[in-house]
Amino acid sequence: MRCTTFGRNTGLRVSEFALGTANFGTLWGSGAGRDEARTMLHRFADAGGTLIDTSDSYQIGQSEQILGELLGSDRDHYVLTTKFSLGAGRPHPSTTGNSRKNIRRSVETSLKRLGTDYIDLYWAHLPDDLTPVEEILTALDDLVRAGKILHAGLCNFPAWRVSRAVTLAELRGWSPLVGVQFEYSLAERAADRELLPMAEALGLGAALFAPLGRRLLTGKYRTSSRGRLSDWEGRGIRTEDSEQRTDIVDTVLAVAEETGLTPAQVSMAWLRARAADAPTALIPIIGPRTADQLESYLSALRVTLDTDRLKRLDEVSAVPLGQPHELVAHSLRTVRGGRPVTRPGAPVA
């Protein structure tokens, strides 16, 4: 597995895949027990994986607890990330959200469950639409200065909020935000409109969850509904709810048949190619529930798709950029006097 820095603004080195551990534990009614989790963690490490993603809310805190037990004395060999906002127990105003109070409480409970004295990257799991971004940033800055976290990032925040937060941190001398996390796959490319260009422009690392389109891109639900209701009671499952998503699955299955690959390998190979061409780190978060599923993800590390097939996948999954992007694209030649003009190193429009 290749290694890269998590964006252009930090020397934090991470593996090209992150191991998502939402399935470590069984308190949600489905997932992996400790033995299966141990097998997956060790196999991920054997493949060169170092980046681990969890949250205080995953499996009602059991994911962090299992990880703490498994990492033990090897903790420093991994880049450990976790999240706050949703909490691990019954929702309560004082134990959820992004207030300074909850951030302080959350980091202490996560450190205890994880059995460590520091977290490499601490994420706000989502905006709560209540807490000012200044409060989030100063609370995270305090944790960095105290040595309890090394870096901070934002998950599921819109681009305008992330951009403002990055700017405020720079202007006020607070600890910088180093990354963003959002959903991205062939089946969900809305981030192409704002989030990805923002991350690439600001040098933020991007952790991409649901790289198989919440299992849509495996193609298995076309012939069987098995798993839909057994995994978290069907929550988080994408369906072919649009003509485009049906076309995407058709194309993935066609490329798989042409190449002798699985649909999952095709989908992950496309994402790896997208990451290889990006000016900042794009790290897919793989979320296996079994060791066999992990092997399926890792097998994509040996797959390279040719240019024509990558182009077919790009075209069928592309999303309309909307305004003002489309207006600007149509107007650029007029602005440039009818001739293409670029900055050195920039793509030709």
pLDDT digits (tens, 9 = 90+) for 280-292: 999 999 999 999 9
Does residue 245 share a domain with residue 204? yes
Does residue 328 share a domain with residue 268? no
Catalytic: which of 58, 78, 122, 184? Answer: 58
Does residue 241 share a domain with residue 163? yes
Q: Which residues pair with 51 in a beta bridge?
A: 18, 79
Does residue 342 share a domain with residue 291? no
Does residue 229 share a domain with residue 190? yes
| Residue 60: C-alpha distances to residues 31, 88, 95, 117, 263 (Å) | 12, 5, 13, 21, 32
Q: In this structure, what token pair is assigned to residue 32?
A: 């992996």
Residues 6 or more apart whose CB falls under 8 angstroms from that of 329 comprise 321, 349
**Strand stretches in 224-332, DSSP E:** 282-286
Does residue 292 share a domain with residue 336? no
Q: How many structural domains are present in the chain?
A: 2
Query: Inter-axis angle of helices 100-114 and 133-145, to 10 degrees?
Result: 40
Beta carbons of 83 and 47 less than 8 angstroms apart: no
Instruction: Give the domain CATH number at 111.
Output: 3.20.20.100
Task: Say whether 297 is catalytic.
Answer: no
How many residues appear in the chain?
349
Does residue 349 share a domain with residue 200? no
Does residue 325 share a domain with residue 205? no
What is the spatial distance between Cα 202 and Cα 45, in angstroms, rounded to a whole number?
A: 30
Identify which of 115, 122, 55 has the alpha carbon closest to the alpha carbon of residue 88: 55
Does residue 251 share a domain with residue 282? yes
Q: Which residues pair with 151 in a beta bridge?
A: 121
Does residue 128 share a domain with residue 210? yes
Does residue 240 share a domain with residue 324? no
Residues 6 or more apart whose CB falls under 8 angstroms from that of 346 comprise none
Per-residue pLDDT of the chain (349 residues; tens, 9 = 90+): 999 999 999 999 999 999 999 999 999 999 999 999 999 999 999 999 999 999 999 999 999 999 999 999 999 999 999 999 999 877 888 889 999 999 999 999 999 999 999 999 999 999 999 999 999 999 999 999 999 999 999 999 999 999 999 999 999 999 999 999 999 999 999 999 999 999 999 999 999 999 999 999 998 877 655 544 445 445 567 788 899 999 999 999 999 999 999 999 999 999 999 999 999 999 999 999 999 999 999 999 999 999 999 999 999 999 999 999 888 887 876 776 766 655 555 544 4
What are the pLDDT digits (tens) for 63-74? 999 999 999 999
Does residue 228 share a domain with residue 341? no
- Domain span at residue 327 reads 320-349
Residues 6 or more apart whose CB falls under 8 angstroms from that of 61 comprise 27, 88, 89, 109, 113
